[in-house]
Structures are given as C-alpha cells and as structure tokens.
Amino acid sequence: MSGTSRPSFYVTTPIYYVNDVLHIGHAYTTIIADILARAEKLMGKNVFFLTGTDEHGQKIEKAAAERGLKPKELADRVVGRVLDLWKALDISYDFFIRTTMPEHERGVQQLFSRLQEKGDIYKGEYKGWYCVSDENFLPEDVPLEKEGHKVCPDCGKNCIVVSEECYFFRLSAYQQPLLDHFAKNPAFVRPASRMNEVASFVRQGLKDLSITRTTVKWGIPVPGDPKHTIYVWFDALHNYLTGIGYGSDDQKFRTFWPATVHLMGKDILRFHAVFWPAFLLAGGFELPQTVFGHGWWLKDDTKMSKSKGNVLDPYQILRWFGPDPLRYFLVREVPIGLDGNFSHEAFLHRVNSDLANDLGNLIQRTLTMIGSYFQGAIADPGPEEPKDEALRLGFGAMKEKVEGLYADYALNKALEEIWAYISVVNKYLAENEPWKMAKRPEARPRLARVLFQAAAAIRGTSHILYPVMPSSMTKVWGFLGEARRPEEVPWADSQFESYRIGQKAAEPVPLFPRVALEDFLGEASVSDSPSRPAAPQPSIPKQAPAAKEKTMDIVTYEEFQKMDLRVARILKAEPVPGATKLLKLQVDLGTEQRTMVAGIAETYKPEDLVGKHLIVIANLKPATIRGVESQAMLLAAVSPEGRAIIPFFDRDVAPGAKVK
Ligand SMILES: [Zn+2]
C-alpha cells in the first residue's frame, strides 16, 4: 500500500502556550485527538496527528526574565514537561511543533510576505488600551470600567490609550467569503450549535485585525521591517501549515492539507473558525473540513484556570490508574461538544463499575476458565456442537455502529454501544454457567463453544476499544495469545471469527485495579490541593464508599495541651523534585533541626522563606511525603483559591518558643 493512495486524515490540537500549567483540559483535547488518530489509522487512513507548543509573546519573555533565563531556555524546560505528560498519557502524535523552530518561523514570514504582496496585509496605525507597567496592549475584549478606562487583566493597573504603527490583516474583506463558506459547509464548525454563534459574529461585521506589535520583542520579526514582531495569533495558527511541511516539505504538505479536523476548547473556537479561515482564504489555501470546539471540564462548576487555582493535575490520577482509565472517563462521561464537571467520585465510579466490573471481570473470568478447564487453549468443540450466532451477529452490528460514531466524533456514544455489547457477553456467560458445565465431562464440547464465543467477543471488542485504551487493550491481546498487536491489524480484517481455536491464552493480571475512594481522595488532598473544598459532588456512586461526613469535634483543654506548637525559623527551602506544589523545608526548633514537606510552593518561592519565623506542630506523627520524611507540620490559612498563606511573626521570636 503506498502512502499517497490512501485517503488522509489530518488532526490537530491547538499549540499550548508554554506559560500555562497543563491540566486536565489540555490533556482532554490531546486525548480526543489521539483517539481519533488511532481509530482512523486502524481504519486504514493515512494519518497525521500534530500537536506542539506556542512559545512566543510577551508573557514568556517576562516569565523568563523573572527566572533569569532566556525565553527559549524557559520554553525548553516547559516543553520537556509537556512531552513527559504526553508520554504518560500514551499520546501518539506524529510531530510536535514548536513555534521557535526555524522551519516554522521561515514559513510564517513567507506567508506574511505573500499576503502583503496581495494587499491583504498593510501598514497602519493601531490605537488601543496599553498597560504601561507591563508594556503591552490589552486584548480587545477586556471590558471598559465604569469610569471609562480599562484595567490591565494581568497587573490590575489602570491603562491608557496609545497608538503605534503596525501591520493589519484585511479581515473585513473576508466577511462575505466566510459567510458563503459557512452556508455551503454546515459541518465546518462543530458542534452544530456553535455554528450559529460564529456566523452571527461574522454577520455583525469584521474589522481589520492588527497582527504585529513593536512593543513585543520575543517573536517572529516582520520580513524587511524587523522592529515589528508578528503577533501571537498570526504566528501560532500557521503552525497547522508549517507542521506538515509548508515551506519545507512540499510533498508532505500536499498529502495532508487541508486538515480533516482542528480540535480546540470552545474558548478559542472563534480564532479558528473566523481568523484562521480568513488567513487561509487570503493565502489561497483550501479550508479545513471541520473546526471542532469541544466543551470544558469544570471543577466544582467553574472553569479550571491557573489564576483560580482549581486546575486538576493529571498526574494525580495517572499515579493511581495509569493513562487508560483517564482517557476512558474523559470521553465517556460527556459528549465532546458539551461541558463536563469533573468529580473524583464520578471518575472512580466509572473506573470501578465500567472498567473493573463490566470489562475487567469479563476478561479475567473468561481467561481464568480457559486456563483451568483447557490449560490455556480451548479445544475444538467439534462439528456436532451447534454454533452460537448471537454474540457473532451482535459483534458485527456493534462494530458497524461504532465505526460511524468514531468517524462522527461521537466518542461517548461509541463507548455506550461497546458497553451494551459487553453486557450482552456478560449475560451470555451468566446464562450458560460454564463453571457448572466444567463439572460434567459430557458437556465439554459445549463448554469449549461457550468459552470460545466469549474469548472471540473479548478479542474483537478490545480491538475496537484500542484507540481509547491502547495500553490495556494491547495487554488483553497478549493474554489471548494474539501474535500481533491491535494496531497491526486493520479494522476491516478483525472479525469475530478471527479468534482461533487452540490459541494459547496466558494467565491474566487484573487490568483495572479497584481503588477505594477514601484512599484516592486522601492522596488527592495531600498532593493536589491542600484545601480540597468539601463542595457537594453531583454523583456519589453506590458502589464506592461515600466520603466520611465531617463533624465538628470538641477538643478539651487537656487534649489541646497535648499539641506541641512551637516557633520555627526556616533555615533552608527547596522544591521537591517532581511535585509542583510542595516545598521541602529545613527548620530550626531552638534545640534541634527538623525537615518538613509543605504544600506551599504555589504561594511562596523558596528564597522568600529563608529566615522567616512560623508556627509548627512539633509532635505530630511523622509522615513520608514524596519520599521525604516530614517531621513537623506548619500552620497556614487557606485562601479561597486553595493557596496556603502562612502567618509569619511580625517581630523576632526565638526559635523553639512555645505557642499557646
Ligand atoms: Zn499590566
């Protein structure tokens, strides 16, 4: 099969800004893209999956300067962390683009010149609200205050109106062409509900777009006029062209453009559905088939964001469960166009009920029976033993539906279909009771038939589930004695009857271990947020133990006196490797030094702490946190964003002084 004869499928995520903290929301977009890429690859398409990082702009420049780094050095560090996360989530991207790559920078300059020659980019004067302290223009959508001025969303200072020379993109010329395109291609914006929003925004009239700044230095210079820097969106969006070889690998570019689907959070849909196609029309490119604005994962009903301090760290889940349960939960729980509310209880419910019970037990039981009744290889039931057709027919029907649902980005519905089939297989085993047949020698052909049917159903189902849970389903194929990995078998070639009699099955190991809610939440509160709010969660599952009710206990004076509260002086503070929220402190207690670990890294930098006096509980039972024995605990208030605020003494106190 030659690479160019197959239909292509090109899927992208947005490039993530290196100044952001990656959370479940970023993981979500990337997981959806990965599932689609793997599914389309199985179905025989020539797939290209692009993700990457956006590394230019003032915020990066500033954040780097604060750390004494060059912007590129800061970006390099962050990119390392992004790549680690994608590895931990089993993301199979084909290329990771960074906007600081020379191929990208050259490509963007070429595209800029092309539009300039055409007259779609022209020099003018940009007038806008400007933050003197941050030296940058505010985004246009920052609202006016009652007093008639704007306030900087970054530093909170009042801003002034400034004008500067800049280059504009003639967006106004593309209002009608965009509306025409929307009318002819109703699936251009998905979900369909968002098409109306986008079209009505365009109908209200499009103003030309300023696409360069002289106040931003860290970015791609305008060709021939280097005091101007190309502004973030014009730079970033073109990664979708340069990432598949625009300006550097023409053959690859022609193979994969136009994109099949650009995926992104709904908050940046407008940039992708209006500005991006306008840039492309101006450049004479074909437009992507679909831009898909997926919903947000909310935490306690608010959007996760760094400034709110409510971001969910994917590693907290990965440490307990590995990638597959998280991948499964995120696409199973809600349709990708809608918002979902992330709760640890709902997550555990899915893992315990869908994965451990329905799927995990089916695999475990079936393989264990094949092992104990047939020494790992099912015998031929023989020609006399009638065939059961129900599971085979059910499989074919399910597979056909799932194929259409995967292709329509309806991942949650695809999983519903698959689980409906899994429950049919479970019912088949429950009704046939093979464990009873095993006691009757004359029932052996029937026993072989029943276990064969179940094993064939498991083999086929795990192939179909492979895009969602690649590492677990690869293990299942290993257990079943398949010589190949699921991704090596084309979708069309994997039938129910592809399972072979006599295939040697291995002893299975549990794929989805059960985790108790209390253990999981306990860990969540140590390493994730020091103040996990006791907000009511929408769905406390029946299977999982409910979190213990918090009651206010009365403490007697004698009990209080047992607590040894003391003043400690911080001698040393340093980050805990691999933990973003923890600091390791060395403190002086007057008569001795102690080591302690505290979840304060979001509020304090190590260098701010040395020499400060604070209160610790000196006789708390030591606990090992991230491999470090914490020999005391500090007292801190918890801000509404979940940050720890330490009460420091406002005058000198001797370390070791008792606090009562
Ligand atoms: Zn500011």
* Ligand 1 midpoint to CA 581 (Å): 26
303: left (phi over 0), alpha (psi -120 to 50) or beta: beta
Encode burial over 366-400: b for 16+ CB neighbours within 10 A, e otherwise: bbebbbebbebebbebeeebeebeebbebbeebbe
* Ligand 1 midpoint to CA 161 (Å): 13
* Ligand 1 midpoint to CA 128 (Å): 14
User: Are the C-beta atoms of 385 and 446 separated by less than 8 Å?
Assistant: yes
pLDDT at 93: 98
pLDDT at 229: 96
* Ligand 1 midpoint to CA 142 (Å): 12
* Ligand 1 midpoint to CA 493 (Å): 59
* Ligand 1 midpoint to CA 151 (Å): 8
Residue 435 CA to residue 236 CA, distance in Å, equals 60
User: Are the C-beta atoms of 108 and 242 separated by less than 8 Å?
Assistant: yes
* Ligand 1 midpoint to CA 418 (Å): 51
User: Are the C-beta atoms of 151 and 157 separated by less than 8 Å?
Assistant: yes
Alpha carbon distances (Å) from 496 to 44, 269, 397, 420 = 19, 41, 11, 17
* Ligand 1 midpoint to CA 215 (Å): 13
- Closest Cα to residue 451, out of 410, 488, 491, 499? 499
* Ligand 1 midpoint to CA 587 (Å): 37
Residue 162 CA to residue 245 CA, distance in Å, equals 39
* Ligand 1 midpoint to CA 143 (Å): 14
Alpha helix (H) ranges present in 408-438? 411-432, 434-437
* Ligand 1 midpoint to CA 638 (Å): 27
- Closest Cα to residue 271, out of 330, 321, 319, 206? 206
pLDDT at 515: 83
| Residue 627, Cβ density class (10 Å: 0-12 exposed, 13-18 middle, ≥19 buried) | exposed
Nearest-5° angle of CA 411, CA 416, CA 419? 125
> For residue 153, what are the contacts with CB-CB under 8 A and spacing of at least 6?
138, 139, 142
* Ligand 1 midpoint to CA 158 (Å): 8
- Closest Cα to residue 457, out of 331, 357, 359? 359
H or E segment and range at residue 35: helix 24-42
What confidence tens digit (pLDDT) does each residue in 489-544 have? Answer: 999 999 999 998 888 999 889 999 788 877 777 655 444 333 333 333 323 222 23
pLDDT at 658: 86
Alpha carbon distances (Å) from 394 to 332, 388, 397, 423 = 21, 11, 5, 11
* Ligand 1 midpoint to CA 103 (Å): 33
pLDDT at 485: 96
- Closest Cα to residue 276, out of 577, 44, 15? 15
| Tokens of residue 550, six digits | 């918090």
* Ligand 1 midpoint to CA 138 (Å): 8
What share of residues in the chain are helix, strand, coil (percent, to 5)?
A: 45, 20, 40
pLDDT at 22: 83
Residues in the chain: 660
* Ligand 1 midpoint to CA 519 (Å): 43
User: Are the C-beta atoms of 486 and 337 separated by less than 8 Å?
Assistant: no
What confidence tens digit (pLDDT) does each residue in 451-481 have? Answer: 999 999 999 999 999 999 999 999 999 999 9
* Ligand 1 midpoint to CA 157 (Å): 6
User: Are the C-beta atoms of 342 and 24 separated by less than 8 Å?
Assistant: yes
| Tokens of residue 89, six digits | 């989530």
Residue 646 CA to residue 608 CA, distance in Å, equals 12
Residue 184 CA to residue 203 CA, distance in Å, equals 16
* Ligand 1 midpoint to CA 59 (Å): 11
CA atoms within 13 A on the CB side of 538: 10
* Ligand 1 midpoint to CA 64 (Å): 17
* Ligand 1 midpoint to CA 150 (Å): 10
* Ligand 1 midpoint to CA 575 (Å): 29
* Ligand 1 midpoint to CA 63 (Å): 14
* Ligand 1 midpoint to CA 531 (Å): 30
- Please identify every stretch of the chain with a pLDDT value under 70, giving residue numbers as ranges: 1-4, 305-311, 522-556, 558, 640-641
* Ligand 1 midpoint to CA 211 (Å): 20
- Closest Cα to residue 346, out of 357, 358, 332? 332
DSSP string, 494-547: --GGGS-TT--PPPP--SS----HHHHHHHHHHHT-TT---PPPS---SSSPPP
